Amino acid sequence: MNAAVAVATLGLGMVTAGVTASVVIGKYRERVDTLRRDFDRLNEKCEGMKSQLDQLAEFKLNTQKFIDSKIYQQGSPLNLTDYGQKLVAESGFAQIFPSVRDELVLMLEKQSPTSQYDVQEKARALMDGLTGYEPFKPIEQYAFNSGSDFGQILRAGAILLRDYYFERHPELVNPNERW
């Protein structure tokens, strides 16, 4: 009889363990399913936000082109308008540029531009990112004092950087074009 009780107790323990395991596994399965649904909802929201960010980036680009039409002449390659030349001269950019141009070219070289257009666009993007660049602090002060757009001055200066880059890298310039 002791053996029968032991077998019954063992069997009851196994059934209890099985039921307990099933309940625990069921709870974890429910949590995983909930997390999967939450993840899917977050993924949908992220896709919607990405689409909106893409639209915002396109709007920003078009707005920037409109604003910069004041400093760049239409055509290719971009050249400065009289206003753009005035900004570069009066802001002090033209005076500061010779002392930093080699450093700026090194920064641009790290981006490995491969064409004339690539150099032009990467020069503009580089200059957009230099708002905290120490040598440009006097230009920043000029912009503040005159009510000018500091970023626009730097984007006008990008044309000087582009042209100097071509002097340093004549292999990128088509011999039939004059920069």
What is the reported pLDDT for 45? Answer: 81
What is the reported pLDDT for 147? Answer: 94
- High-pLDDT (> 70) share of the chain, %: 93
Q: Kindly tell me the sign of the dihedral angle through the C-alpha atoms of 93, 130, 150, 78.
A: positive
Q: What is the pLDDT of residues 131-156, one digit of tens each?
A: 899 999 999 999 999 999 999 999 99
Q: Please provide the DSSP assignment of 116-172 as one string.
A: HHHHHHHHHHHHHT-TT-GGGHHHHHHHHHHT--HHHHHHHHHHHHHHHHHHH-GGG
Residues 50-64 as b/e (b if ≥16 CB within 10 A, e otherwise) read eeeeeeeeeeeeeee
Put simply, whether the predicted model's pTM sits higher than 0.85 gets the answer no
Token pair 């570069």 is at which residue?
88
Q: Mean pLDDT across the stretch 68-76?
A: 84
Q: Please tell me which residue, 53 or 176, carries the higher pLDDT value.
A: 53
Question: What is the CB-side half-sphere exposure of residue 138 using CA atoms within 13 A?
Answer: 11
What's the chain's average pLDDT? 86
CA–CA separation, 23 vs 25, rounded Å?
A: 6
Which band of pLDDT confidence, cut at 50, 70 and 90, is reported for residue 38?
Answer: confident
Considering only 8-22, 42-56, 69-83, which range has the smallest mean pLDDT?
Answer: 8-22
- High-pLDDT (> 90) share of the chain, %: 50
What is the reported pLDDT for 79? Answer: 93
Residues 90-115 as b/e (b if ≥16 CB within 10 A, e otherwise) read ebebeebbeebbeebbebbeeeebee
Q: What 3-state DSSP class applies to 70?
A: coil
What is the reported pLDDT for 149? Answer: 93
Q: What is the pLDDT of residues 75-117, one digit of tens each?
A: 888 999 999 999 999 999 999 999 999 999 999 999 999 999 9
Q: Mean pLDDT across the stretch 1-14?
A: 71
